Amino acid sequence: MSVSKSPLTVHVAAPRGFCAGVDRAIKIVELALERYGPPVYVRHEIVHNRFVVDRLRGLGAVFVETLDSVPDGRPVVFSAHGVPKAVPSAAEARGLDYLDATCPLVSKVHRQAQRMVDNGFHIVFIGHAGHPEVIGTFGQVPHGTMTLVETEEDARALAVANPEKTGFLTQTTLSVDDTAAIIEILKQRFPAIQAPKSEDICYATSNRQAAVKSITAKCERMLVIGAPNSSNSRRLAEVADRLGVPARLIERAGDIDWAWLGSPQAIGITAGASAPEVLVREVIDALAERFDVTEIEAEHEPEGMVFKLPRQLVA
C-alpha cells in the first residue's frame, strides 16, 4: 500500500550555483589536462567544492598546497581565489609552466591594492582571516601596507597613521549587508577614506544573496548547497538566518538533516557559486522521495557573464 506524501513547495533561488569565475577556473583545469595530459597539478582546491575537486581528481588533477609538491616539468594551475605574487615568481624561478585561474574580479582587487600602495595609501582590507583570497590579496603588496578588518568592532577600534592617505578594499565573497555596515563605520570615522572605484563584492555573490532574500518570506527552512569552507555559501545561509528562516549548509543530499527539516509546507534551496547544478537536482530528488514536491524557480535575469581563458589554452 502506497503511503501518501505530504505536499512540499520548493522555492529554488535564482541565480544560484556556478558563477563565471568558477566556470572559467574549472575549464582551465579541464583544458590543461587535455593540452598537457595528466597529471596536472593545482595549488589549493581550484574552487571550494568537494564534488568538483573529486571529479577533476578523477580526470588526473593533483591538488597540492605548495609549489614544493609540484615535480619539475609538470604544469601547475593557481586556484580561482588568487595567490600571493611570490607564488608565480617561484614557479618562474623553477621553470614551471603555470596557468592562473584567479577569478578576474579577484585580480581586479589585486590591481587596485597595488595601485593604492603605489600612490602612498595604507589599505584597510575587509575580509576573513585565513581565507585564500585574503592571503592572495595581502601577498600583492609589501608587508605592513594593509590591515585586515573582519567585524564592525574591528572597524570601530581601528587606528590609522594618516586618515588622508587611507583606502579600503574588500574580499569579493562577503555579506553585502555586513560589509556595508563596516564601510559606513569606516567612512564615519575617516571621512577622507578612499573607496574602490567600483564595488569589490562580486556580482555573483551579490546576486545570490539577493536571490535568497527574495524567497525567504515564502519559506520555513532554507537549504544552501555548498562547502563549509566556501565563504560565499556560508554567507547565503547567514542571509536566510538573519531574516528569520533557519538555514543549513549542506554539501549534498546525503547531508540533509531530516529531523531538523521536519514537515514544512515550503522550503527554499540555493547553491553557492562553486556548487554545480547537478547537486541541486540531487537534493530536490531526495526531497521528492519523502514529499510530494512542487518546484518553483524564482524569476530572475540571466547573468550572462563570461571571462576569457588564458592565452596558452586557446592559442
Active site positions, annotated: 133
Q: Are 242 and 209 in contact (CB under 8 A)?
A: no
φ and ψ of 47, to 5 deg: -145, 160
- DSSP letter assigned to residue 31: H
Which grid coordinates belong to 189? 570615522
Q: If 0-12 CB within 10 Å is exposed, 13-18 middle and 19+ buried, where does residue 92 land?
A: exposed
- Comparing CA positions, the residue from 19, 59, 18 lying closest to residue 35 is 59
- In angstroms, the Cα distances linking 71 to 67, 75, 89, 96, 210 are 8, 9, 16, 9, 44
- In angstroms, the Cα distances linking 274 to 123, 202, 212 are 28, 14, 16
Q: If 0-12 CB within 10 Å is exposed, 13-18 middle and 19+ buried, where does residue 264 land?
A: middle
